[in-house]
Amino acid sequence: MTCYKCHSKQIDGCLKNKNLTQRDCGHPSRNAEWSCFYSVTYDTTTDTIIVRSDCIDVPHEEHSMKVFSICKSPNDKLIIKECRVCDSYLCNPAALPNISHVTLAFVPFAFLITKSFFH
């Protein structure tokens, strides 16, 4: 399996037309298989967005149920806004920005406006 590898703090940092790195995932661990993933996470403590693409070693039981632990928010400070897991060659670039990405990009700005007007 070959996936795109990217880590960015910009919503468009992992777009396909940007300079993405390709990564050969190698051999999966026992009772698992490789997949590619793309995720957008909002960090509430730093008020930043984290965009990641890479290989992920998915246990067979997660893969068969199509419920992936990487797509679950680990706590209330890191909120997964978008997550995709796929199983084909270089299937994990970011999609072109759509309304949800534009909306997500303005979440911190809207928070500051609300905070300044209603305090």
Residue whose token pair is 């406006």:
113
pLDDT band at 97 (very low <50, low <70, confident <90, very high): low
Q: How many CB atoms lie within 10 A of CB 3?
A: 27
Q: Residue 16 has what pLDDT?
A: 78
- Among 11-15, 84-88, 97-101, name the one with the lowest average pLDDT: 97-101
Scan for tokens 């910009």, then name that residue. 10
Most confident among 76-80, 95-99, 102-106 (mean pLDDT) = 76-80
Backbone torsions φ then ψ of 46, nearest 5 degrees: -105, -5
Give 38 or 104, the one with higher predicted confidence.
38
C-alpha distances (whole Å) from 22 to each of 55, 60, 91 are 10, 24, 11
Sign of CA dihedral 23, 27, 30, 33: positive
**How many CB atoms are located within 10 Å of the residue 1 CB?**
20
Q: What is the pTM of this model?
A: 0.75
